[in-house]
Amino acid sequence: MAFFLLLIIVTVLRIESVAPGPGNVYTNHWAVRIPGGRGQADRIAAKYGYINFGQIGSLEDHYHFHHSRVVRRAAYSLKGPHSFIHMDPEVAWAEQQVVKPRVKRYVQSDPSFIHFNDPKWSNMWYIHCNDKSSRCRSEMNILAAWQRGYTGKNVVVTILDDGIERNHPDLAQNYDHLASYDVNGNDHDPTPRYDSRNENIHGTRCAGQVAAVANNSHCAVGIAYNVRIGGIRMLDGDVTDLVEAMSLGIRPDYIDIYSASWGPKDDGKTVDGPGPLTKQAFEQGINKGRKGLGSIFVWASGNGGRQGDHCSCDGYTSSIYTISISSTTENGNKPWYLEVCSSIIATTYSSGEFNERKIVTTDLRHRCTDGHTGTSVSAPIVAGIIALALEANLLLTWRDVQHLLVKTSRPVHLKADDWKTNAAGFRVSHLYGFGLVDAEAMVLEAMKWRTVPAQHTCSHTPERRTRNETAILTQHVAYLEHVVVKVLIVHPRRGDLEINLISPSGTRSQLLANRLFDSSNEGFRNWEFMTVHFWGERAEGTWTLEIVDSLSKLRNPEVLGNLKEWTLVLHGTSQNPYQPSSAQHSGSRMVEIPALEEILEEPELEEEDEYDGPCHSECGDQGCDGPDSDHCLNCVHFSSGSLKSGRTCVSHCPLGHYEDTASRRCRRCYKGCERCVARSAGDCLSCRRGLFLNTLNSSCIDTCPPGYFADENQRQCLKCHNTCMRCLRYADRCTACSEGYSLAGMTCVPECTNGTFFHLEEMTCSPCQSSCRTCTELRQQSLNTLQTQGPLFLIYSPPFLASNNSLLSATAAEQATRCKQPRLLAWSSGNVSS
């Protein structure tokens, strides 16, 4: 039997492999033309052993014939009795059908579709395949997302870093000063501080990856080349909790995506995370940012691979609010700088060994580089891809974006020895999260995405001292998103610890691996480890925390560690996030059939003995023939119902009816109206669920007119903010602007006329200084700082830099005295070219 099966398989393979050869592939379907009607066609079909499948579409006298005894996919048109049909005089024409090769257009990654004139375009190997002989790495499908029309329009991204060169010729056009701030200099101009060592190139490089202008004959092309890009300068000075919190909280209603490529030292021994203010800033951004949809924080997972660092010890990466991104090399290898951990969601290409290619982007001093490296590269790439997804669907929440990345990222050829499939069917690894990002899949999913159900959280602290406790959690969270384990561990050498968490479905996630350099005796004091590896799994059941203490030579074997306490925190949803629940469905735009019509009455009884008891209080002067309100002969107030369903007297008419005082009748409102004053479409006061009151003409409609939005609570079309021409769900969540305003994110900002500038504090156009004919707010600001900060600020002005380098070296010593924390994750040593 087994042998036989094998033979069949081989046979099928042979047929398949022969079929697409140089010749045609013949099917067992024929197209024939037979005048004389269906009966005639059926007869001829029967005569030669065919089955007539009927007329071909709208083609008269053309029929689709099928012959079951002809090989289905043959390389030759086999002859036999059936072929005599071609010679039958009744048959005007007949043709055996051949298979025509058809390829889905968008799958083809032919670069000839888009050619940009930017000089580095051909070097952007991670976006397109330039020449077919070279190794092609276009699996992030960025080109395909562009071809679907998404380039980041109206989305706002900002780079939290050491500044951004806002007048760089490849950034200036997309630069948005409303998305920018200088926390270090406390002004509105995030231009980096220039020094001879080019210490502050990082932010400008990250910005170009997202937003370099396309087809402008300059440098490169950004992933979201029509996005609005800003920069928040915050790394060039002492970085404190306050500086971080301020930076994460800048214009959260205006900025959609914050990209950060920094974190605690990647030395393999630090355990550090956001301080109390920064934690609050994350929560604020998530709850209030983007007008309640939640700010998107994209984070680089870390560059401490060579130091054996583990990104679970980086509290920025392991926060559930950040989207942590890892890197892979162009060959799908693990880069030397990669840090492993369970909170990584997805991965992009970046640099690798010296013979592997790096990333092209804008560089300081108006230059261009193809040497950008590390996980610093990966956060901006994903920020750009999320910008494309937001353009496709402005209403994605912060959690929707994470779900989209989980669903659309793929392992492809990324090499890791720990790829596994979790119980929800997602492939996931501690090196790469859910795999390489896919921009096209992101925009396609985003377009049809339904917001996931509300986030629920439940936590459980097993009893102290119990070494083997199992927690049964059944409340609230049924489908998992993030899982957090908070531990209090005292330990003589922290780096000896390995921690694993095993889900009820048996999926195992490593929360911490040994760290060779971490000799700290501080243990973990309520440290939170986070994993995304159980995403989509069911929460219910037994969770197991496993702690492995591998005694290293560096340590006294007498002293043991102690797990004092641990808490399991499950985040997720009570309903399946990917299936529309019945609750969501009832909110759909369907007009409900009025329940009122269903008043069922017993058939009227024959007229019987006269009733002489008391009448219902709603009965009028003519009395009644029974005690109830439907036994009245006339009414005090109104009669409701119909002859068919039976009438009853009421003091007020039910919903869906209005009170006709002349006839003392409750009359039906126009369909869709809940309350009304008369029966026509324009007499509504309120509307049934799913419809909205158009206050312009008092009608109920399912789509509000331009300038209005549908308010679900009041079931009314409310007016958009006066600067908005169109808005979504909220008055100030604009999607198009009135005359004189332009859209930025979901806000309309005034286009200031000559002689005025947009004043950031007052959010209005304000007059320029009298000496200026035109101005921008930025120039005024830099004038101010020039006065207060002295000659050091001369170097902020790029013309000096370009023309006179000696000025730079003169000030270098002065700058070196300023304190700067080495907090950047990535420092590129790549070549700078101009």
Ligand X SMILES: *[C@@H]1O[C@H](CO)[C@@H](O)[C@H](O)[C@H]1NC(C)=O
Residue 696 in contact with ligand X, rule: CB under 6 A = yes
Task: Please tell me which residue in 128, 177, 202, 218 is annotated as part of the active site.
Answer: 202
Q: Round to whole Å and give the CA distance between 739 and 403.
A: 37
Q: Round to whole Å and give the CA distance between 320 and 485.
A: 12
The one of ligand X, Ca ion, none whose footprint includes residue 343, by CB under 5 to 8 A per kind, is Ca ion
Residue 797 in contact with ligand X, rule: CB under 6 A = no
Q: How far is the CB of 407 from ligand X (least distance, A)?
A: 30
Long-range CB contacts (within 8 A, 24+) of 331-336: 331/135, 331/356, 332/412, 332/413, 332/414, 332/415, 333/415, 334/305, 334/415, 334/416, 334/431, 335/305, 335/374, 336/305, 336/306
Q: Binding to ligand X (CB under 6 A): which residues in 209-238?
A: 215
Are residues 303 and 337 in contact, defined by beta-carbon separation less than 8 angstroms? yes
Using CB under 6 A, pick the residue from 49, 620, 646, 682 that binds ligand X: 682
- 135: tokens are 């190794």
376 is catalytic: yes
Q: What is the sign, positive or negative, of the torsion defined by CA atoms of 218, 222, 227, 229?
A: negative
Strands (DSSP E) contained in 57-131 are 59-66, 93-98
Q: Round to whole Å and give the CA distance between 187 and 198.
A: 22
CB closer to Ca ion, 212 vs 385: 212
Q: How far is the CB of 499 from ligand X (least distance, A)?
A: 16
Are residues 815 and 199 in contact, defined by beta-carbon separation less than 8 angstroms? no
The one of ligand X, Ca ion, none whose footprint includes residue 674, by CB under 5 to 8 A per kind, is none
Q: How far is the CB of 306 from Ca ion (least distance, A)?
A: 11
The one of ligand X, Ca ion, none whose footprint includes residue 312, by CB under 5 to 8 A per kind, is none
β-bridge mates for residue 272, sequence order = 314
CB closer to ligand X, 49 vs 541: 541
Taking contact as CB under 6 A, which single stretch among the options 409-417, 548-556, 631-639, 697-705 is the one that binds ligand X?
A: 697-705
Task: Please tell me which residue in 118, 161, 170, 256 is annotated as part of the active site.
Answer: 161
629 is catalytic: no
Taking contact as CB under 5 A, which single stretch among the options 259-267, 374-382, 709-717, 751-759 is the one that binds Ca ion?
A: 259-267
- Name the DSSP letter for residue 632: B
Residue matched to tokens 């377009």: 447
Q: Round to whole Å and give the CA distance between 623 and 635.
A: 9
Residue 218 in contact with Ca ion, rule: CB under 5 A = yes
Using CB under 6 A, pick the residue from 56, 75, 78, 114 that binds ligand X: 114
- Name the DSSP letter for residue 340: B
Using CB under 6 A, pick the residue from 11, 697, 742, 833 that binds ligand X: 697
CB closer to ligand X, 78 vs 678: 678
829 is catalytic: no
Give the residue among 177, 274, 315, 275 at the shortest CA–CA distance from 233. 177
Taking every pair of Cα atoms in the chain, the longest distance, rounded to a whole number of angstroms, is 117
Using CB under 5 A, pick the residue from 161, 162, 189, 518 that binds Ca ion: 189
For 164, 177, 251, 650, 772, the CA distances from 777, given in Å and listed in that order, are 17, 9, 17, 67, 12
Beta pairing class for 93-98 and 26-33: antiparallel
The one of ligand X, Ca ion, none whose footprint includes residue 784, by CB under 5 to 8 A per kind, is none
Are residues 386 and 224 in contact, defined by beta-carbon separation less than 8 angstroms? no
CB closer to ligand X, 663 vs 753: 753
Residue 694 in contact with ligand X, rule: CB under 6 A = yes
**462-481 mask for ligand X (x: CB under 6 A)?**
-----xx-------------
Taking contact as CB under 6 A, which single stretch among the options 170-178, 411-419, 553-561, 696-704 is the one that binds ligand X?
A: 696-704
Using CB under 5 A, pick the residue from 141, 322, 455, 648 that binds Ca ion: 322
**Which residues, 6+ apart, have CB-to-CB distance to 104 below 8 Å?**
none
Residue 63 in contact with ligand X, rule: CB under 6 A = no
Give the residue among 268, 353, 352 at the shortest CA–CA distance from 302. 268
Number of residues counted as binding ligand X (CB under 6 A): 20
Q: Round to whole Å and give the CA distance between 290 and 146.
A: 24
Per CB under 5 A, residues contacting Ca ion are 118, 170, 182, 185, 187, 189, 212-213, 216, 218-219, 266, 302, 304, 309, 314, 322, 324, 343
Catalogue the active-site residues.
161, 202, 376
Per CB under 6 A, residues contacting ligand X are 114-117, 215, 467-468, 681-682, 694, 696-697, 699, 705, 753-754, 774, 804, 806-807
